[in-house]
Structure 1
Amino acid sequence: MAKNLGIYRCDACGYTLEVVEMGKEQLVCKGHSYALTCSKADAQVVCCGKPMELLEPNTVEASREKHLPVAEFGNDGKFVVKVGSILHPMTAEHLIQWITIVYGDCVQRVKLHDGKAPEANFHVGDANEIDLYGYCNLHGLWKATVKK
């Protein structure tokens, strides 16, 4: 079973960050005895002086530009991911910045560039269930899952 990918984004500058281990909620207590106050807390990721947003991936296509990653299993563990059943535009103003795959305990990412096709080649061995992620600079994070 694949792990969830924790991607944060700064609304001010557009910086994105992957959290490798999301961790668990912590119980934070202040004071002592009768003045003790406790609350549950998650770590807060901050950029440009503001908390970063944890992105929830879109999983349903809703625009004419296609964002959902699609993939094909090849021979010898080869795996090809493309973004969009109709390939997504790849201009400097509007592009897929990266494609990431997650399976088992493995994460692989390929950074993409404008003017190139929104696709990437991976090697996944004998994995049979893979989560695919694509990040569009205008429309955010997208996710699909494929099974062999």
Structure 2
Amino acid sequence: MANNLGIYRCSACGYSLEVIEMGKEQLVCGGSSYALTCLKADAQIQCCGKSMELLIPNTVEASVEKHLPVAEFIDNGKLLVKVGSTAHPMTQELTIQWIAIVHGDRVQRVNLEEAKAAEAVFYVGDADEVDLYAFCNLHGFWQAHVKR
């Protein structure tokens, strides 16, 4: 299985940041032997004066709008990715902002436009497994996996 996307998002302004290498969590300890405190530490990325949130992708549908990406391998090493088993609305108020895929050591992303279909075609060559991601402006980050 491919590596997951590390996406941080600012809850104040909506700025998003993709981490190329997630690195390893570190154990940071402080205090004396009697009052030793240890915490797991990871990146503390800030925007608008507060920590950005590491997005954890949803993998189970829970609303009327469908958000899980679905895909089909098509001719010439291409993969057609659509968001939802039924077409997701693409309005100013509710839209899929982007679709991304991860296969092997490659990441591809397509930014989408409102009023156009929530779908994109990617070149994956002979990849047998692909992780699919989508981001909805109201319902967040979604992930699915497809095998040939």
Aligned to 1:18: 18
* Counterpart position of 1:143: 143
User: 2:131 maps to which residue?
Assistant: 131
TM-score (ref. length: structure 1): 0.91
Trace 1:97-136 onto structure 2 (pairs within 5 A). Answer: 97-136=97-136
Aligned partners of 1:81, 1:39: CA distance in 2, in Å?
A: 40
Check 1:47–1:126 CA distance in 2 against 1; reply closer, same or farther (3 A cut).
same
Q: CA RMSD in A?
A: 2.1
| Number of equivalenced pairs | 148
Q: Say which SS state the counterpart of residue 76 (structure 1) adopts.
A: coil
Name the amino acid aligned to 1:112.
L
- Residue in 2 aligned with 1:41? 41
Q: How big is the shift at 1:15?
A: 1.3
Counterpart in 2 of 1:81?
A: 81
Query: Deviation of residue 27 (structure 1)?
Result: 4.7
User: Could you report, residue by residue, the CA deviation over 1:3-26 in whole angstroms, capped at 9, with x for unpaired residues?
Assistant: 011111111111111111101123
Q: TM-score, normalised by structure 2?
A: 0.91
Structure 2: which amino acid aligns with 1:87? A
Cα distance in 2 between the residues matched to 1:19 and 1:113: 24
Calculate percent identity across the aligned residue pairs: 73
Structure 1 distance, partners of 2:111, 2:50, is 26
**For 1:58, what is the secondary structure of its paired residue?**
coil
Matched residues in 2 for 1:67 and 1:104: separation?
24
Determine which structure has the larger helix proportion and give its number.
1
State the 4+ residue runs in structure 1 displaced beyond 6 angstroms: none
Q: Which runs of 5+ in 1 are unaligned?
A: none
